[in-house]
Amino acid sequence: MHPAVALAAAIGSPNADVGELPVAYVTRAPAHPPVKEAELLAFAAAGIPERAAVPKRIYLADKLPLTAIGKIFKPALHKQEISRVFAARLVAVPGLQNVAVAVRDDAKRGLVAEVSAGGVAGLDVVAVVNEALQGHTVPHEVHVVG
């Protein structure tokens, strides 16, 4: 592990083209100078022999979610990553407004993204959201607001 990193967790980030891409969430080691994402990416690329497993992004976090016994709780990171990816995609869609994404557990479908969004007059919000998220393997539900 890089000396600037205290904790690290790798997860799959939703991607419409390939299903998932590896990303990592890390916390900085106490008393270590700040480190840039590019430095951590280069370190990971040099140390991970399987090219497909090298993180495509590294997110620096103040803290990572932990279980009661101190292990990294990856399901919370998965939910956070799905929300981040979907929200970033949807806020870039012209005409959509008030976009919010929450992720919940579903007994039958696994993680489900709940998308709330409004739109300019005459916009079919559900169709626009469905088109924008086409190709993602994470199921989603659309709730039109306002």
CA distance 48 to 38: 15
Give whole-number Cα distances, 85 to 5, 15, 79, 131, in Å. Answer: 24, 8, 10, 15
Q: Fold for domain 76-144?
A: Alpha-Beta Plaits (3.30.70)
Q: Report d(CA 87, CA 136) in Å as an integer.
A: 13
The total of other beta-carbon atoms located within 10 Å of residue 145's CB is: 13
Whether 31 has a pLDDT exceeding 90, the answer reads no
pLDDT band at 3 (very low <50, low <70, confident <90, very high): confident
CATH 3.30.300.30, the chain: domain bounds: 5-64
Cβ contact 43:72 at 8 Å: no
Of the chain, the percentage scoring pLDDT greater than 90 comes to 89
Nearest by Cα to 28 from 4, 55, 57, 3? 4
What is the per-residue pLDDT across 32-80, written as a single tens digit (0 to 9) for each? 888 899 999 999 999 999 999 999 999 999 999 999 999 999 999 999 9
Residue 120 predicted with pLDDT over 90: no
And the tokens for 118?
């409004």
**Which listed CATH number (3.90.550.10, 3.30.300.30, 3.40.50.720, 1.10.10.10) goes with 5-64?**
3.30.300.30
DSSP character at residue 98: E
| pLDDT of res. 122 | 85
pLDDT for position 18? 94
**pLDDT in the model for residue 121:** 85
What residue ranges of the chain are covered by domains with CATH 3.30.70? 76-144
